[in-house]
Structure 1
Amino acid sequence: MDYKTLDALKPSEFEDAAGGYRSASDMASQAKDGINNQISVRMRAELTGQARDAALGQLKELSKNFHYAQVECGLVSTALNALAADLRAAKAKLDGAVADARAQKFTVNPDGSVSYPPAGDKVDGKVPEGSTVTGSPNGKGGGTTLPIDPSGTANDLSDALERQARNAHPNPNYGAALEYANRIATAVQEATEADEKWAPKLRELKADDDLTVSHSDWADAGRDMGGVKKSAADYLADIKPPPKDGTPKENAEWWKGLSAEERDAYVTLNPSSVGALDGVPSEVRDEANRTVLAEARGKYELDRAAIPPEPKRYIANPTGSYPAAVESAAWKQWNEKYGDRRDQLDKSLNGMKAIEDRFDKTGVEGLPEAYLLGFNAEGNGRAIVANGNPDTADHTAVYVPGTTSNLGKVGGDIDRMTTLWQESSAMVPGQQVSTVTWLGYDAPQSIVKDAPFSHYADDGAPAFNSFMDGLNATNTTEGGGHHTAVGHSYGTTLIGSAARQGDLNADDIVFAGSPGVQVGEASELDVPKGHVWNEEADGDKVPDIGRWGHGGEQWRLGGGVAIIPSDDLFGANQMSTDTEGHSAYWDEGTESLKNQAAVVAGQYGKATLED
């Protein structure tokens, strides 16, 4: 970039273009939501047959296109705003230098050089003539350090020699003109660097010329986001970040304090961060996490496709002796290199598909829109999925699953909360209910090796407390809504630990199949008296086994056994059950489910208690 270009440049034109792309992103978002939450919902409710299913499939693909356009246009908008910010800073430096030069009656030439008039004491009877100087970007002071001199020492020496030349020059205008010329050169250099940084980034923000949004497209969108975020570091630095380790209330205040442009930029380049912030509105978290999910699935699908097919595992024993079949050398080599990674990818992808399946069920049997309030595919995974918006719900239940829970199995937990939503909503017509699957911790993955230990619950409890506090901070109903914590198996232990460690922001607690909750009395669980509820089904062996690991420290039962919620001494409301075993508490049409729903809906008189 040269002086004339920068002098004529209007950063506002880039900002106007950014606004256009942001509008396009917003329109794509609205179109996507209209397809998902209105058109498709009505089709599922009012139509049947193969034609409907085919149309829904096409609408789903169209929704993907709008979602992809939303994300990419958002990136272009943020990139243009960041470019405009860089150019505006350079343009301000240029305009300041030019204004100062002209105020001193100097001439700024089309090439950026500065001409100054005659001035000074006469030399040999003549006033020192004027001349023209061409500047160069300052060394360390100008924001550039020449590659040949990373330390800047040579630049410092150059500056010193230049100062000597200014002082020695017979025309006093020389030094001022040189200063202006250097400032102009520095501004042009900074504008050039901005142009060279952003031009390739903007060229990369383009999609394939087809109507299919592939896994490769989403993986590419993830890379685009990383590239734009790296280049926009200075631009983002001017946006106030969320408070470090902030409380949900502090996070809510941070979000409210951002301008619309700042919110757009932060969500566009930090979707995983915003999606995980308790206290930020659920609609914002959902939008951010859906982008994280789409990009993660694109990457994971590509990684999975890159793994070679699994060779045949067993072959006939070449020795002809026992055993008749042995593992092949090819399979052993493949398994050592790819086995664990394949299993991890499959687990994560199964969870992503289950979450997307829930998105696609919106409207089926009146099921409300789903909200993805947390997502992370790494390790055992994280997923927080809500049926209905908890910010506007009169009654919200947050369910914590237990041992062996992970992203790959989250579909079953989502189904449990679907049935609980249906049963609870039916009890309070005209009121809004939200049921949330909260897989926000590392659950024990082995009943024998992990489940007896409490650190999984203790480590995950602060995150659960924060989430519950976040629901309170974002709920817009009068009184802040009615919130119930629902735990199954080891999930009850986590809820108990959360109440023991801090202020559990819940009105009711429901335990099902609890192995113990680390306290010996319901009164220690930080909810109003009489608002702890428990279910233990016939044939559920987990509660008695759990006494030895997670029961309360009040050893008042015969034989020195710790107290659990199923014991009368604990003080919970013992709700009757009609299911068998450890995993049927949410079966449709059961008394076990209806009793939980009665608590969630605040219809306590409809809950049946054991004698």
Structure 2
Amino acid sequence: MIGYAQLWSADPAAWRAAGATWRGVAGLTDRRVAEVTGTAAELRAGWAGPAGQAADRRLHGLASELVGSRPVFIEVEQILTEYAARISTAKAMLDATVRDAASRGVRVDRRGVASADPAAQPDRRDPTATRQPGGPEPAAVPEIAAGIAAALELATTADREAARRLADLAAGAGAGWATAPPAGPPPPGSDPAVVRRWWAGLTPAQRRWLVAHEPALVGRLDGVPVGDRDQANRLLLERQRGTLLAERSALLSGRITPAVAVELARIERTLAGFDVLGDRLVADTGPRAYLLGLDPAGDGRAVVALGDPDQAENVLTYVPGMTTDLPTIAGELGRAELMAARCADLAPTERTAVVLWLDYDAPDFLDQALHPRQAHDAGPALHSFQEGLRATHEGPPARQTVLGHSYGSLVVGTTARDHGIAADQVVFIGSPGVGVDRAADLHLPPDRVWAGTAGDDVIRHAAGPVELLGRLAVSGVLPGVGAMIAWGRPAEDLWFGADPSGADFGARVFGAGTDGHTGYWNAGNPALDSIARITLDGRAR
């Protein structure tokens, strides 16, 4: 067991720093692979015969070994960073328990033993004395003792698990960290439960081989555990960055036509998005980031989890709306950070993961946002992703919440309506309609459907086509005051169905302040607090 004094003196920041060092080794390995590969090419050009062929095979084998080792270094970083997070949680539990003890008249000694505080006891020599107001309650001592034991148990479990995983990695070094698996992985789009069974049937060395040599496959397969997808997508990020840089150099070396200029601008914007992702992936503050999806094509897509969804008790998946893409991902990551931080403030002893799900082609312009096509196209991917979270989660099922903002709320509603959504509850904020007129049509209990819209959110006036025509007619018939009459009240039916915040929809409505369409995450807005509380225990502020 981890002792009371050990937990108090534990330094999670030191373990995170150690993890960062191992992450640096992974980058160093990439450079060594490039050097070995370059040397092999030079030798091959000028060295023939059996000796040259033997040297080429040896260098090729060395490069392959180095490639196969890189996921190991990322895995070590994962283990150490996750361990630091769990120790932080255990320390928070211990701190909260000890502070609670002081307020309840319970003393905790240096060994962590709880007992009634003599200073809070009545004077037993006085037969008329009663328990003083600050004295301990009858159940206080055993409750404090149980809280201390729970914190130490959490720390001990984390310590044993990290030690076991590190020992397994060390043991695998002798036999080879990576071994080619049997052919026939499940194709993209496979049932996540099938993928999970396939992955579980592989040896650790086979999984690492796939992560190292097939990162594009592993990184996008729902049903592969979060840690393995993160390893694959981190490798993929660096490879795709290299590809984009090479494409940019090739384009710059030729004639710059209008089409080439457009493509160069797209590459620059994508690289800027890669930089934002890269910075967050190596950040030493906040919850560890897991890269669960990456696609630089078009406007770019990414799925980023703050905290490990496979280990968390609460998981919030956030689907953003119009104009969101990879180059502008910084703002959406900031919103995810705010939600994660608020959950941590309200429940410091619970593990909560917040996932930014940008794995669909969000509308770029208003004319695109007037159509449900992109939300419809996103449905299968969001459905599969949520099923994958269920399939790979370890321990008791997590409380799963899916949040959609603006056009993202239509994505969530359309997915729930057409495919079903693996979530305990859904939340809509700033919604233009969710594709149904009643909460019951989302195939979830209506009391698990939440909605909030700011009083000054312009989306409240996004009238449906019929109502829109009527309002335009009133505006034209009555010059001057017509616009005030037509547009002075919220629409009864929004562009994509009934207002989910309306009384007739049947959702549970929470206050969302008056900060406009994008201010739901502003400090002081009750929406942020409500989102966190719904994520944690299914109750709004």
Q: What residue number does 1:69 align with?
A: 29
SS at match of 2:427: strand
Q: CA RMSD in A?
A: 3.6
The alpha-carbon deviation at position 468 of structure 1 amounts to 0.5
Retained in 1: the 8 A contact 2:189–2:221?
no
Structure 1 pair 465/543, CA: closer, same or farther in 2 (3 Å)?
Answer: farther
Q: What residue number does 2:277 align with?
A: 355
Moved more, 255-264 or 284-293: 255-264
After superposition, the C-alpha distances for 1:56-95 in whole angstroms (9 at most, x for unaligned) are 9xx78x844433417977999xxxxxxxxxxxxxxxxxxx
Distance 2:352 2:57 in 1: 47
Q: What residue number does 1:513 align with?
A: 430
Q: What residue number does 1:454 align with?
A: 372
Q: What residue number does 2:535 align with?
A: 600
Q: What residue number does 2:296 align with?
A: 377
Q: Percent identity?
A: 30
Distance 1:494 1:372 in 2: 21
Q: What residue number does 2:421 align with?
A: 504
SS at match of 2:294: strand
Retained in 2: the 8 A contact 1:384–1:439?
yes
Distance 2:350 2:379 in 1: 30
Aligned pairs for 1:525-536 within 5 A: 525-536=442-453
The alpha-carbon deviation at position 376 of structure 1 amounts to 1.2
After superposition, the C-alpha distances for 1:443-497 in whole angstroms (9 at most, x for unaligned) are 11112x210111101111110010001111111132x110000001110001011
Q: What residue number does 1:475 align with?
A: 393
Aligned pairs for 1:38-49 within 5 A: 39=14, 41=16
SS at match of 1:246: coil
Distance 1:502 1:340 in 2: 37
Structure 1 pair 471/488, CA: closer, same or farther in 2 (3 Å)?
Answer: same
Structure 1 pair 302/574, CA: closer, same or farther in 2 (3 Å)?
Answer: same
Aligned pairs for 1:412-423 within 5 A: 412-423=331-342
Residue among 283, 296, 308 paired with 2:227: 283
The alpha-carbon deviation at position 378 of structure 1 amounts to 1.4
Distance 1:391 1:206 in 2: 29
Q: What residue number does 1:323 align with?
A: none
Q: What residue number does 1:425 align with?
A: 344
1:466 paired to 2:401: no
Distance 1:334 1:289 in 2: 32
Question: Which amino acid is the alignment partner of residue 26 of structure 2?
Answer: F
Distance 1:550 1:418 in 2: 38
Aligned pairs for 1:115-194 within 5 A: none
Q: What residue number does 2:323 align with?
A: 404
Residue among 568, 573, 576 paired with 2:511: 576
Q: What residue number does 2:214 align with?
A: 270
Moved more, 452-461 or 575-584: 575-584
The alpha-carbon deviation at position 573 of structure 1 amounts to 1.4
Distance 1:396 1:558 in 2: 33
Question: Which amino acid is the alignment partner of residue 241 of structure 1?
Answer: P
Structure 1 pair 547/601, CA: closer, same or farther in 2 (3 Å)?
Answer: farther
Distance 1:560 1:424 in 2: 31
Retained in 2: the 8 A contact 1:387–1:435?
yes
Question: Which amino acid is the alignment partner of residue 508 of structure 2?
Answer: N
CA radius of gyration, larger in: 1
Q: What residue number does 1:342 align with?
A: 264
Retained in 1: the 8 A contact 2:432–2:494?
no
Retained in 1: the 8 A contact 2:237–2:274?
yes
Structure 1 pair 269/403, CA: closer, same or farther in 2 (3 Å)?
Answer: same
After superposition, the C-alpha distances for 1:377-416 in whole angstroms (9 at most, x for unaligned) are 1111110001100001000000001111111011111110
The alpha-carbon deviation at position 242 of structure 1 amounts to 2.1
SS at match of 2:228: helix
SS at match of 1:397: strand
The alpha-carbon deviation at position 204 of structure 1 amounts to 7.2
Question: Which amino acid is the alignment partner of residue 264 of structure 1?
Answer: R
Aligned pairs for 1:220-259 within 5 A: 238-243=182-187, 245-259=189-203
1:303 paired to 2:225: no
Distance 2:191 2:438 in 1: 29
Distance 1:71 1:286 in 2: 21
Retained in 1: the 8 A contact 2:401–2:425?
yes
Structure 1 pair 595/438, CA: closer, same or farther in 2 (3 Å)?
Answer: same
Aligned pairs for 1:22-37 within 5 A: none
After superposition, the C-alpha distances for 1:22-81 in whole angstroms (9 at most, x for unaligned) are xxxxxxxxxxxxxxx9548469xxxxxxxxxxxx9xx78x844433417977999xxxxx
Q: TM-score, normalised by structure 1?
A: 0.57
Question: Which amino acid is the alignment partner of residue 356 of structure 1?
Answer: G
Retained in 2: the 8 A contact 1:564–1:570?
yes
The alpha-carbon deviation at position 203 of structure 1 amounts to 8.0
Across the two proteins, how many residue pairs are aligned to each other? 382
Distance 2:467 2:535 in 1: 25
Structure 1 pair 71/263, CA: closer, same or farther in 2 (3 Å)?
Answer: farther
Distance 1:248 1:266 in 2: 17
Aligned pairs for 1:316-331 within 5 A: none
Distance 1:473 1:303 in 2: 38
Structure 1 pair 335/544, CA: closer, same or farther in 2 (3 Å)?
Answer: farther
Distance 1:452 1:587 in 2: 27
1:484 paired to 2:401: yes
Moved more, 483-492 or 259-268: 259-268
Distance 1:513 1:395 in 2: 23
Q: What residue number does 2:500 align with?
A: 565
Structure 1 pair 400/196, CA: closer, same or farther in 2 (3 Å)?
Answer: same
Distance 2:388 2:32 in 1: 30
Question: Which amino acid is the alignment partner of residue 524 of structure 1?
Answer: D
The alpha-carbon deviation at position 429 of structure 1 amounts to 2.5
Retained in 2: the 8 A contact 1:399–1:437?
yes
The alpha-carbon deviation at position 240 of structure 1 amounts to 3.5
After superposition, the C-alpha distances for 1:522-542 in whole angstroms (9 at most, x for unaligned) are 111122331111111132112
Gaps of 5+ in 1: 1-36, 44-55, 77-190, 208-234, 311-332, 552-556
Retained in 2: the 8 A contact 1:452–1:550?
no
SS at match of 1:429: coil
Structure 1 pair 528/69, CA: closer, same or farther in 2 (3 Å)?
Answer: same
Retained in 2: the 8 A contact 1:518–1:550?
no
Structure 1 pair 39/290, CA: closer, same or farther in 2 (3 Å)?
Answer: farther
Structure 1 pair 421/71, CA: closer, same or farther in 2 (3 Å)?
Answer: farther
Retained in 2: the 8 A contact 1:498–1:504?
yes
SS at match of 1:383: strand
Retained in 1: the 8 A contact 2:446–2:506?
no
Distance 1:271 1:290 in 2: 9
Structure 1 pair 509/238, CA: closer, same or farther in 2 (3 Å)?
Answer: closer
Aligned pairs for 1:536-555 within 5 A: 536-545=453-462, 547-548=464-465
